[in-house]
Structure 1
Amino acid sequence: MKISEQYNNSGAGTLPITQTASKKQSLVFVIASASAGTLIEFYDLILAIVLAPVISRNLFPEGEARFLETLAIIVTSYFVRPIGALLFGSIGDSAGRKKPFLVSLLMMGTATFLIGCIPTFETIGWMAPVLLLILRLLQGLAISGEYTGATIYVAEHAPENKRGFYTGFIQSTIPLALLLCLGVLFTTQRSMTPEDFSTYGWRIPFLFSAVLVLLSYFIRRKLGETPKYALLQTQGKISHQPVRESFQTKGNIKTMLLLIFGGCGAQSTLMQTTHFVMLFFLQRVVFLSFDTTLLVIGMATLLGCPFFQLSGALSDKVGRKKIMLTGLLLSAVLVPLVFYFILQQANPQQLKEVHTISTMVMAKLIVLILSLHICCAMVYGPLGAFILESFPARIRFTSMGFVYNIGNGVLGGSTTFIAELFRSIFIASTAFSLFAGLIYPLLLILTAGIVLAFFIPETYRNRI
């Protein structure tokens, strides 16, 4: 079936059936351009988290608390995101879908490049962590407009009955960004000595971002406005005060709160737990080498990527809620079990020094972590379509952006820091402290399961 026929059969009414196959290429270009930019921005955001141990040694004073201090500053990027959501949302609803994610891309790329240029603590003292804080805040503002803009941009081009499938490309950018990040780090580290990497090599992945951002920016400049937004313009239905409308439209605040606690926060905490809490768990509790950790998480992430697309496509047929609820229920069971079995397989004697593991044990770890990736995909794959289908077009960017950046940013984005904080608080009880960090994500996951099951309606048949 041609793309033009899909549009016509969906009832979207935005494309005439006489359009040729060139429109198919246009849709492919739309998805590729939006996804590539989002992938790069998530790469930029993730990089500082993965490199937190190295950053702590370079930009903070010596002391046991410097790793926690580094995570605290890195997490600040998530707390500023609701502000960015309202800013970019206002632009996206009143001036067009395209503008916000062009601005956000340049903002993110500039901040990431400059992080790679921050002098060490030995050179400029406390200005080093202060500069890191400022640049992480800029990154937080940038990503708040990127994901929402890209998801809505793709959804408003896609056929009505395939929104989950097409927005699934945007959803898969987080694991792909992690893969890109791990690949660049692995390549950089293997090209120099550990001492050189710790001294200056860690800066290279940040500087490399500038190349990726510029390429993506020039590609995105060729994009036009979405057909659904253009229709709003033609009909004179553009909102000139989308922030006010988002909070004054009857029932909209309730919808936003339900989506925050009924999926968005849980999705983010599950992703953070699977990626970053796991990363530090393997390094600081299981005591695996950096190379082994990158390899295990990288392979699990690679194998898990197709499930994001599959979950989005399946949600077009059976509904968003069924897929997401299944993912939440499975993750509530698997998260504690996976962490427990990883420790038992890779460090049963609870050694306190870095050690090697066999190929067979490594394979088992990959399978265990892959199970969490599949849960992530089931929750996150349909989520973009699920959120945007809950709001009217005239305030969609603002409302969706606020929901995503409160849930994904403030609630879920705090997971890595809170997990490490809980682990340090309960350090006196060794057996429990290893898993204390899982309390917070499990709480958000269980809450989301209840809210999603009983209080949020299905959306996949909604017209947008």
Structure 2
Amino acid sequence: MTDAAEPHTVDRRDRLVILASSVGTVIEWYDFYLYGSLAAIITSQFFSGVNETTGYVFALMAFAAGFAVRPFGAVFFGRLGDLWGRKNTFLVTMLLMGLSTFVVGLLPSYAAIGVAAPAVLIAMRLVQGLALGGEYGGAATYVAEHAPPGKRGFFTSFIQITATAGLMLSLLVILGVRTAIGEDAFKDWGWRVPFLVSILLLGVSLWIRLKLAESPAFARMKAEGKGSATPLRDSFGKWPNLKLVLLALVGLTAGQAVVWYTGQFYALFFLEKTLKVEPALANILIAVALLLATPFFVFWGWLSDRVGRKPIILTGCLLAALTYFPLFHALTEAANPRLAAASASAPVVVVADPADCSFQFDPVGKAKFNSSCDLAKSYLAKAGVTYANTASPKGSLAVVRVGGTLLPGLDRAALPAADFSAAKAAWETSLGAALTAAGYPTKADSTLVNRPLVIGILFLLVFYVTMVYGPIAAALVEMFPTRIRYTSMSLPYHIGNGWFGGFLPTTAFAMVAATGNIYYGLWYPVVVALVTVVAGVLFIRDRKDADLHA
């Protein structure tokens, strides 16, 4: 179907309007991703009242909280956008995002105000998630409705750059502050600076967005009296449109989301938390890979105007699913070769009675994981050492096997309470010595990091992101009519990216912590991406020439 409406010619002023929309979206993503980039420090500042593993999972859960509410923001602000207009909704979402980010920069730590600190932190993340839920659908719809037929993929691809640009901006600001004041000061107070700077960016963004005009398609729809008075009911209460919403979720955005977050966030978590690469170096490596790959967002958007959105998105999902495991194995060898060598030459195995092993997640920080199995797994998890699990006879003491060395676990029941702490410290020293003797490093040696190879691997991961993300805005916009477009496209996008993608770091890390296998969490994005490939091939129809005035 071709665009039956009179073609809209995009002049210089229209391009400036589209650029202004993109710049505002970059700043919203900057605000949102500061938290993810600083997850390790957030753990120590706001979740220090629980054990280390639980604290990190909690920090990732707080990160995911912002994603959990994004679909609700999509519904609320999507409805406003279809009733009230794209421009006015932009202003509200920007204000909420900027102010909540600024508050995080002022928030006292757990040591100062106790549980109130993580409570307020999570509340601010929820506000950010609601705001972002209303942001993307408006930006994508707004830009697509300005674009002439045959160029929607190209024009909306600039919106797709904004998420990566926001992440890269957050990494560069963090790196600049870290370099200027030093790592110790940054961990103490300097981490607040990037959050506080957002108030200045908020002022710039609001000034830019006040200059925006309404989109031509929305203005025409209003002038002709064809708008929807009940966009929520028309979007989700009628099966023909609800079916499209569900297909967009399963056949497009779910796979796109897990590829996006694996390539740009889980890769960063993996470098810092698992491979123990110095945070500043990890930020530089990710930033370089992002910089190199970013132009491909525009390339794939441009190509999708010619070959369609569906084949590019689904090919990206398939390539990612088929290559994630070898790529992350290669990343380990390139970023921490001593860890890779030790894992190969002296694999670690925890031999224990399964009944003696707990799932070490303690929401209130009161549980004591002191069994011989729990003590072994807790130490190995903190050390970033991957291990295998082997069952032993019921009631037997856990044994840690490091290569050919056997280290019996600590029998808590045989020790007086007064002697346990000293015995535990001595046992952990012995296990640490065994790991060191086997070649396991306590952190990655920065001089041994193969920087070109690491950047190459990260580039390929982000390249997959550009394939699935570059054409997605145009694909979603073209699936729904103008009168309910903002509402209809926002929900599947934010369920996909907010839930399937946003929960990826938390889910993957929990899977790793439960199994001891540092690569096990990759099964999550691999399976979701493959489901999207199958659903997309069978049920998604490409609509690259759809009439946006319908």
1:134-193 CA-to-partner distances (Å, cap 9, x unmatched) read 000000000001111011000000101100000000001111111101100000000112
Which deviates more, 107-116 or 410-419? 410-419
Once residues 121 and 494 of structure 2 are traced to their aligned partners in structure 1, the CA distance between those partners, rounded to angstroms, is 21
Residue 471 of structure 2 is aligned to residue 363 of structure 1: no
Residue-by-residue CA offset, 1:293-318 (whole Å, 9 max, x unaligned): 01111110100100001000000011
Q: Counterpart of 1:156 in 2: which secondary structure?
A: helix
Residue 359 of structure 1, CA deviation: 7.9
Please state if 1:87 is matched with 2:76. yes
Q: 1:308, 1:381 within 8 Å by CA — same for their partners in 2?
A: yes
Q: Give the superposition deviation at 1:249.
A: 3.0
Distance 1:120 1:214 in 2: 27
Q: Secondary structure at the match of 2:337?
A: coil
Aligned to 2:12: 25
| Alpha-carbon shift at residue 248 of structure 1 (Å) | 2.6
Partner residue, 1:451: 535
Cα deviations by residue, 1:179-214 (Å, 9 ceiling, x for unpaired): 101100000000112221111100000011111111
Q: Point out where structure 2 has 5 or more consecutive residues left out of the alignment.
A: 340-439
Bigger CA radius of gyration: 2
Cα distance in 1 between the residues matched to 2:325 and 2:25: 31
1:171 counterpart residue number: 160
Which of these residues, 337, 356, 375, is aligned with residue 348 of structure 1?
A: 337
Instruction: Give the Å deviation of 1:254.
Output: 1.2
Structural RMSD (CA): 1.5
Provide the rounded CA distance (Å) in 1 between the counterparts of 2:321 and 2:95.
Answer: 38
- For residue 69 of structure 1, the aligned residue among 58, 62, 65 is 58
Residue matched to 1:20: none
User: CA 1:227–1:14 in 2, change beyond 3 Å: closer, same or farther?
Assistant: farther
Aligned to 1:4: none
Q: Which of residues 439, 444, 454 is equivalent to 2:523?
A: 439
Which of 189, 193, 201 does residue 204 from structure 1 map onto?
A: 193
Which one of the candidate residues 382, 398, 406 is aligned to 2:487?
A: 398
What do residues 194-237 of structure 1 show as CA deviations (whole Å, max 9, x unaligned)?
22111110000001111111101111111111111111111110
Q: Mean alpha-carbon deviation: is it higher for 306-315 or for 264-273?
A: 264-273
1:2-401 map, 5 Å: 12-13=5-6, 15=8, 24-62=11-49, 63-64=51-52, 65-350=54-339, 351-358=440-447, 361-401=450-490
Instruction: Give, in whole Å, the separation in 2 of the partners of 1:255 and 1:47.
Output: 33
SS for the counterpart of 2:201 is helix
- Rounded Cα–Cα distance in structure 2 between residues aligned with 1:149 and 1:111: 20
Distance 1:334 1:211 in 2: 41
For 1:413, the aligned partner's letter is G
SS class of match (2:243): helix
Contact 2:335 2:448 survives alignment (8 Å): no
Any idea what SS the aligned residue of 1:460 has? coil
Contact 1:86/1:401 (8 A) holds in 2: yes
Q: Which residue of 1 aligns with 2:351?
A: none
Q: Within 2, Cα distance between the matches of 1:435 and 1:360?
A: 19
- 1:415 and 1:331 mapped to 2: Cα distance? 15
Q: CA deviation at 1:10?
A: 6.5
Q: Which has more helix, going by share of residues?
A: 1
1: CA distance between counterparts of 2:290 and 2:325?
19
SS of structure 2 residue aligned to 1:251: helix
Structure 1: how far apart are the matches of 2:182 and 2:337?
Answer: 30
Tell me, yes or no, if the aligned pair for 2:263 and 2:464 is still in contact at 8 Å.
no
Per-residue CA deviation, residues 42-82 of structure 1 (Å, 9 max, x unaligned), is 11111101101101111122422111111111211111111
Percent of aligned pairs with the same residue?
Answer: 38
What SS does the aligned partner of 2:500 have? helix
Aligned twin of 2:378: none
Q: Specify the alignment match of 1:430 in structure 2.
A: none
TM-score (norm 2): 0.79
Tell me if the contact between 1:76 and 1:137 (Cα under 8 Å) persists in the aligned partners: yes
SS of structure 2 residue aligned to 1:61: coil
Which amino acid letter does the alignment assign opposite residue 156 of structure 2?
T
Counterparts in 2 of 1:390 and 1:142: CA distance versus 1, 3 Å: same
What letter is aligned with 1:13? E
Please tell me whether the aligned partners of residues 336 and 449 of structure 2 are also in contact (alpha carbons under 8 angstroms): no
In 1, the alpha carbon distance for the partners of 2:205 and 2:448 equals 38
* Greater CA drift, 69-78 or 249-258: 249-258
Distance between the aligned counterparts of 1:152 and 1:184, measured in 2? 30
| Equivalent pair of 2:160/2:469 in contact (CA under 8 Å) | yes
Q: Mind listing any 5+ residue stretches in structure 1 that lack a counterpart?
A: 1-8, 18-22, 428-432
Q: CA deviation at 1:98?
A: 1.1
Query: For residues 30 and 222 of structure 1, what CA distance do their matches in structure 2 show?
Result: 8
Q: How many residues align?
A: 445
Find the partner of 2:514 among 398, 415, 425: 425
8 Å CA contact 2:272–2:279 kept in 1: the answer is yes
> Whole-Å Cα distance in 1 between the matches of residues 98 and 7 of structure 2?
34
User: Which of structure 1's runs of 4+ aligned residues deviate more than 6 A?
Assistant: none
Counterpart Cα distance in 1 of 2:447 and 2:538: 46
**Matching residue of 2:411:** none
Contact 1:115 1:206 in 2 (8 A): yes
